[in-house]
Structure 1
């Protein structure tokens, strides 16, 4: 049965999509790859080609072409899965194009360019909140163009007018300086007064090295079986291991192992209270781009020290981004103060209304968008920092997702009362107005203004 949303992209349309874009040596993701037309075109410029494809029958086609299949359903992808991607080039299902493009924007790493086809009505007709959100993103971060009925002579035809969207995810100024990381394995010096005990770090590194050695042994065993088995007529064996995605080569395995090892270290050290969503993205991207940098004790100590030294700047930038995102296009989230200068920013209201925060699978399973989760979690970390509340002891929003996820019911965290509605809206109310005031005062200080005396 033909997928009603599968319209393979013609080469002439791909040429229009990539006009003015340099993809030489780019890391390209096609979130709805189909038969791989877009990646087929791009492989003349780069070998770093990644994809998602939800149809089982098409996944072997993409693997045969040696494209790296990250997963099946792109709407379940998270920022950490694509933190190394430089370009998202997509021809999403026309029936859900807005949802796919918004999700790409939500999880795209900083500096990523998104090039997407869509039904022109998704851009031109703003009847839904989701389409209005896309309109605002295009106005702020990109362009749109009506290509016309460019699929009239395609492999699968349609007279639908097609739109072309190009978006660029801006790069924030706070970045980790990885220049101090060592490219060579060296003798480790014991650090008795370090921020993490020497023996604990040594144990983690030894475990990492031991796992990679076992991977080598497994590959050698498979090679031995295949080389000797073919002499007695045995078919060649292959394997695909997976805990979140499939991989068969050591490089991909090592990257995933490094990411999980860093996460373990951050949890063990209780560093998560400083790790904003942007910082996590940068660590993941570092592992993807600099995999040759060894996972050594010295590099672990350098990373932990950099995160600790830059914690205040990271939290400040996270707060500004979260508040700006919540108030930029949503007037009801802004607290109005006489004489307020809108060009300086907006304080958060006592209740925050987040549109398109909740999405659903077939009307039964609900989940928060990655961007919403990141912004809320960043605000919680800032609140913990300025109130002195221990982040590791807080009742977080994810517990609600697992146990209390009910439409129309209020759920109580340490800082918020939370409720969601089936149309996709999430409401957050500050439980303690002192926390609301402290957060706005901190935001105002970062922005460079003082709140009026009658602010309450």
Structure 2
């Protein structure tokens, strides 16, 4: 990777010298187009006690987390495809030496008004044999200067050494902003002397794009149009600011009765306003992509939150077709992990609040310090509390509806379908009064009863295979079940399959070892293994595994017996989760 990308981290001494080369120390926002791991950025100065904002571009995606951990925003991967340079007052770069001239010319092209400092191979300017090198040399002669340095990558602070001589190039691009924005004052006054009707005359309602086969391309076109509109709006406001300054202060400002408006230069104001508007538009555009994808419409609420927390870093990228497809491909690549997390979320929800929802079995032997019990959701019935409603209410609380929607998504996924034919959310919405009166109603995967006074929902699985599928999926993930390639004897699977039948004997055995004061237990091992500290968890686990060993022995079951040439029956079910291809994003 280093050789292919010509990665030469900038030594500290050279980084400091590069920052010092800038002549305008009023840093509005800095762009580093080949950021690597951020070596060139480490000496960045402060503006009014705050470090200046820096955006990075880096083609090696493995370095993005390193840059973000240092507080930099990663806005792209390929600088040669980057467009929005008008946001920046300074560009600081150590591009690959072989492509240095192209990178500096690209920076010059996209920069609106500001300075460029670039670290180049000295031969780039000393041997201007190509059209691009000659063009760069002319720019340096007309708009900048260059300093040639030796041994900058050969010192002790150089992470990767080379004896190549370098050219430290400084360029200053000055826009024709004042003239282009204001022009001749008299012409401007004549042009701006229009009526309200005239101002509104050119305003037409935008037509919505409806090309369903080009959702991403259209989204980018719409975004670019919005950015251009915001740019024109900022320029118009800048014109108004200049006119206000020409007119002078208000009487209140002159008398000291009103605060004087900011004296920030018009150009700096435009850059800051463009950045604010551009960031807002990117947030909106990326959010539209996230919420419009087919896969996210099938995510549980917890999975949606996890994806959106990662999305905070994604939305800093430029909103371009390649970046969008990269983001969507990343979601597709994570489908297996996303689906597993969704199943674990629902499993934890069912097992968390009601002890009768769960039965236990002896977990698989491993190299862990303590062997633990595995948990299974009951296939007969489980109860979830916390869903009380008042007599005047016509539906469940919003959070309860979200929970039911999560059930619909996860069990449809376990069934290899996109959605439940009859979801629990619709059952409660359409039959709420019947449920309140005690009737038992049916959905695709559960019958349900609702007790509004105590706020409990009772779930009766109608497809026990899906409950077993979830139990095995979560059990495998949490290493309660043997790995798929491991041989396990009939004893292990016998106690796993009979966990519900053995549950009463197991709990009776546990209660015999729990000291009581009346009806109160001095030590509850079930509570301890879930919520206790380390010592409490160890003690609780020892009591539970001891009780389970006793029950299994009483029933003649040895979960550790391994039969020669016997294959594990883990995940015997063939109905798989929806494939990543089937759950590809709608785009």
Higher CA-based Rg: 2
TM-score, scaled relative to structure 1: 0.44
